[in-house]
A = this chain, B = another copy of it.
Amino acid sequence: MVKKETIPAYTHAYEYIRDQILNGELERGTKLTEERLAEEIGISRTPVREAIRKLEQEGLIQNKRVVNPSDMDLRHIFQVRILLEGFAARYCASYMTEEALEKLKSCVEIGRTGTTEEVMTANYEFHQIIVGATNNPMMIDIIDRMQSIIYLFRKTVVYHKRPLLIEEHNDIYLAILQHNGDEAERLMKDHIQKDLEFCLNRMRM
């Protein structure tokens, strides 16, 4: 016997609703009702309610609606990202396992040669790897939440099409490789700032 085999209904509900939101099947601003979701998933309201509350705390739901962040919200989120990920990049420059370095490199590689889907995933992972390398669960958790909110806009804002994005990733990777912490931090901050600007521009279109 390994571990759990029965997944609780509220976990199921949580994953189901979260997926729907991140897929865009539940659009930004959509009103969520416990009963409808419960019926849809085939469980009672109780665990659905629990799942909704959790998503509410994570910022994906705001008073029973799928969150629809404003320009300002995004600026705030990106500000936090700049600070935490800037630090993370610097941290990686001081030390990073061979394995993680390899992964970073491969993300850049895929960014150049992969399919649209692959590129998107690789770009996302590039940041995940850097933050993950800090081994700071608080930081990882915070960034995770912010990333998922940003992810809501992936249809509107096709990030992977931003010019120079991959080259910026590569530059960050190189700075880390060369143990140049100052540079790694600076590049990461600039990079995220450019992402924000790209994002805000696209949202107005």
Listed in ascending order, the chain A residues whose CB lies under 8 Å from chain B are 46, 49-50, 53-54, 57-58, 76-77, 79-80, 83-84, 87, 136-139, 142, 146
Contacts and interface: CB of A to CB of B under 8 A. Distances in A.
Contact of A53 (B53, B138, B139, B142): B53
B50 A80 contact: no
A37 B167 CA distance: 56
Given A53-B54, A54-B53, A139 B84 contact: no
A157 to B, nearest CB: 19
Contacts of A142: 80, 142
Chain A interface, DSSP helix/strand/loop, else mixed: helix
A80 B58 CA distance: 18
Nearest to A58: B57
Given A76-B136, A80-B138, 13 more contacts: A49-B50, A50-B50, A50-B53, A57-B57, A57-B58, A79-B87, A79-B136, A79-B139, A80-B84, A80-B136, A80-B139, A80-B142, A83-B84
Question: Copies per complex?
Answer: 2
A76 B146 contact: no
9 contacts: A50-B53, A57-B58, A76-B136, A77-B138, A79-B136, A79-B138, A80-B138, A80-B139, A138-B146
8 closest Cβ pairs, A-B complex: A76-B136, A57-B57, A83-B83, A76-B138, A80-B138, A83-B87, A77-B138, A79-B136
A80 B46 CA distance: 35
Nearest to A88: B83
Q: Could you say which of A84, A138, A139 has the most chain B C-beta atoms within 10 Å of its C-beta?
A: A138
A193 B136 CA distance: 16
